[in-house]
Structures are given as structure tokens and as C-alpha cells.
Structure 1
Amino acid sequence: MKWIDSFLPSLYAALAAGSISALMSIYDGKSVVKTVTGALSCGILTLAIAGSLELFGLPGNSVTFVGATIGFVGAEKVRDKVLALFNRRTDNRRGPGG
């Protein structure tokens, strides 16, 4: 029970991310498989980010807002943004001549 009490904001944020993602997928007419996997991806991503909010300059109590934002944006767009950031950073490190 103490563990649940400690991590309740993060769990709530993950559930919010998954729920919002699922509702947006249903609204967009996506298949059941894409709806479920997108919702799970958003929930897991929110849990992963929840412990690192201070690295991004956000207070710890903003986890619900971050989760809702991730759910609203959706797993596909978050994946595209992360891959673009990763590719941009790795391309810049290669230097001249690749």
C-alpha cells in the first residue's frame, strides 16, 4: 500500500495517457490492435518519463499533465519526434566525412 501511495501520481498519469490515447484512436477510427498498442505505449512511456521530469526542467507534480499530453499526441507522433531527435543528435556527432 505504501508503494501505491508513493507512485499513485505516476500510475494515474499512465492511466490518463492510455485512456486519452485510446479515445483519440477510437475517434480517428483506428483498428482495435492499433488502439490497444498505442494506449499501452503511451502509458508505458508516461511511466518511463515520470521519474525523469526534473531532467526536463519540470516539477514532479506535473506528471499528470505530461501523461495527458502524451496520450493526446499519441504513440505514433511521439515515436516520430523521438526518432527525429535521436537522428538529429547522432548525425551531428559524426562530424565531417561521416
Structure 2
Amino acid sequence: MIGRTVKLFQDALPALYAAGAAFSISALMSIYDGKPVAKTATGALSCGILTLAIAGSLEFFGMPGNSVTFVGAAVGFIGAEKVRDKILSLFERRTRGDKNNDL
């Protein structure tokens, strides 16, 4: 039982490191930009959680599993607001298509 728990924890460490990197970088960038504490905390948490979500699906996106730390650092550097904007614009393009054809 303990051996399984240790193995599970060891398997999750890269994703946890990546989430920590995303959290830390996002928080530091927000502090540098002079954002309020609440916005810094929520943005950093969002980046960490998003990195954990992405970590399990890297192979789906065609990336090797060991690139999770790079992805976490990139998410943290880009920031929660810009990542949200990119995801929303991609979603809108995929679901709406060409706006001129909807008339």
C-alpha cells in the first residue's frame, strides 16, 4: 500500500513541479506588473490549475510527456488572462466558423 502511494506520488511529481513553476512565474510577473494581491493570487492559482489540466493531455497535443515543466513555465509567463483569451478565441473560431456565412 505504501509502495503504491510512493509510486503514484513519484509519477505525479513532474506535473506538480510544472504547476508550481506556473504558479510562481505568474505570481512574480503579476507582482512586477503591480497588480492587486487578489488578482495576483487568483491568476497564479489559475495558471497552476491549468498546467495540471494540460499535464495529463500533452500527448494528445503531440508533445512528449517530459515537456510538462516547459509548458508550465510558458503558461505562467503568458498569464491566466492571455491564456483565457487565446482559448476563448480558438473556441469561438472552431464553433462559429466564418461570421459572414451566418447571415
> What interval of TM-score do these two structures reach, taking the shorter chain for normalisation?
over 0.9
Q: Which AA in structure 2 matches 1:15? A: G
Answer yes or no: is 1:12 the counterpart of 2:17: yes
**d(CA) in 1 for partners of 2:23 and 2:14?**
14
Q: Which AA in structure 2 matches 1:43? A: G
- Summarize the alignment of residues 1-80 of structure 1 with structure 2, pairs less than 5 Å apart: 1-80=6-85
Q: Return closer, same or farther for 1:6/1:93 CA change in 2, 3 Å cut-off.
A: farther
Q: Gapped runs of 5+ residues in structure 1?
A: none
**Cα distance, 1:2 vs. partner?**
2.0
Query: What is the TM-score of this pair, normalised by structure 1?
Result: 0.94
**d(CA) in 1 for partners of 2:81 and 2:102?**
32
Q: Identity of paired residues, percent?
A: 72
Instruction: Please identify runs of 4+ aligned residues in structure 1 that moved more than 4 A.
Output: none
* Aligned length in residues: 98
Q: Gapped runs of 5+ residues in structure 2?
A: 1-5
Query: What is the TM-score of this pair, normalised by structure 2?
Result: 0.89
Q: Return closer, same or farther for 1:97/1:22 CA change in 2, 3 Å cut-off.
A: closer
Larger radius of gyration: 2
